[in-house]
Amino acid sequence: MEKTHELWLTRLFNHYIPGVGNAILSLFHIVAGNPAKPWENFIVMQIMVVAIIVVLFAFLRSQLSVEAPGKLQLTFEAIYGFFLKQTNEYIQHGEKHIPIFGTLFIFILFSNLIGIVPGLESPTQIVYVPCGCALLAVLYYNIQGIYEHRHRYIRQFLGPKWWLAPLLFPIEVATHLSRPLSLTVRLYANMLAGEKLTLIFLSLTYFIGPVLFMGLHAFVSLVQAYVFAMLATVYVAAAVSHEAH
């Protein structure tokens, strides 16, 4: 992994709670390259994103109102309604999948947007984070496919005729394996390029340039989060569809 500078927040984590970082790594049988500095930027940024989301939704929950909903409530209701409509176009009774699609969308969106804040960076520009989200999406749609079709789920890998199975099985396996790779590379490459371009132009210009590129970064962040969530929706729809089984 490319060596990056240590963010001020990461420096605080490494200074005050290095033991916690080493303890977490030891749970996965990982030894930090430098035990005195076990925290990496992308891990700290993810923790911060999760903390922001938890605080935001805790505040939102305390302000929920049927008679006079606030702007924040209306915003998230609009997001929920949009995803519900999109999901129901692909999946029957798609509302039960909204929690996973919404979680992926909001986590990725906030992870993308946090890079706009001076002194912070997007954790999604580190390949491990998009890869983790992609693996979660792939695991989820396969679980849903198995839950919906039980043992018949394997039929999608074998094709419509038994004599086509030797040919279609490796193709189908390769197709499913390519999905997490595609999700990972798309999100990682776009956010890494956006982050680098924004930093370059911030260093070259003073006001107009940074504003334009920060706006572009925000737009790309929104689009990439939406695309990721919609692709996950399409994969779930294909997995639970009865037409393909």
Cα–Cα dist 245/145, whole Å:
10
Residue 162 predicted with pLDDT over 70: no
Res 170: pLDDT? 86
* DSSP notation for 88-142: HHHSTTGGGGHHHHHHHHHHHHHHHHGGGSTT---GGGSTHHHHHHHHHHHHHHH
Confidence of residue 214 (pLDDT cuts 50, 70, 90): confident
Res 241: pLDDT? 82
> What average pLDDT score do residues 11-26 get?
94
For 89-116, write each residue's pLDDT tens digit. 988 888 899 999 999 999 999 999 998 8
Q: What is the pTM of this model?
A: 0.90
**Average pLDDT score over the chain:** 87
Confidence of residue 205 (pLDDT cuts 50, 70, 90): low
Res 1: pLDDT? 47
Helix H, strand E, coil C: the string for the chain is: CCCCCCCHHHHHHHHHCHHHHHHHHHHCCCCCCCCCCCCCHHHHHHHHHHHHHHHHHHHHHHCCCCCCCCHHHHHHHHHHHHHHHHHHHHCCCHHHHHHHHHHHHHHHHHHHHHHHCCCCCCHHHCCHHHHHHHHHHHHHHHHHHHHHHHHHHHHHHCCCCHHHHHHHHHHHHHHHHHHHHHHHHHHHHHHHHHHHHHHHHHHHCCCHHHHHHHHHHHHHHHHHHHHHHHHHHHHHHHHHCCCCC
Confidence of residue 28 (pLDDT cuts 50, 70, 90): confident
